[in-house]
Amino acid sequence: MDDTQISGLTVLAIEDNPANLRIIERWMERFGFTLFTATNGSIGLSAALRLQPDVILLDMGMPVMNGWEVARRLRADPAGKSLFIIAVTAHAMERDRQRCLEAGCDLFFSKPVNFRQLGEAILAHCSSQGD
């Protein structure tokens, strides 16, 4: 993947674990994304509706408001219906993937995340939006 192809996109990472956020920050910087972060679902929901990012990386198991609730609320809000949401979660079973998709996530990546594949998925989505 040519990392320069996806530079300039905005990503909102909603993740409560500081170590995971540092890893996400390094990879998003490497890809040239503009990264915003939120450390719980409630803050993330507000940030997503306000920022309208190109991509949301959504941890599903968070305090205050979990990722499933964030996804459901985004999809219920006219301003959040078309946002691209990627579930990034330690919940790795098939039923967990299905639950994420039913809540409104567009894609599912289990932790530990293969960030090269994640970047490819983001590129594919953003490229299709330009058509």
61-98: pLDDT as tens digits: 998 899 999 999 999 999 999 999 999 988 778 898 89
Token reading at 125: 């989505």
- One-letter amino acid identity for 23? I
Asked whether the beta carbons of 96 and 59 are under 8 A apart, the reply is no
Residues 6+ apart with CB under 8 A from 127: none
Whole-model pTM?
0.90
Task: Give me the domains of the chain, ranges plus CATH numbers.
Answer: 3-129 (3.40.50.2300)
Asked whether the beta carbons of 13 and 36 are under 8 A apart, the reply is yes
Q: Tell me the mean pLDDT in the region 41-64.
A: 95
Q: Tell me the mean pLDDT in the region 95-107.
A: 93
Asked whether the beta carbons of 85 and 58 are under 8 A apart, the reply is yes
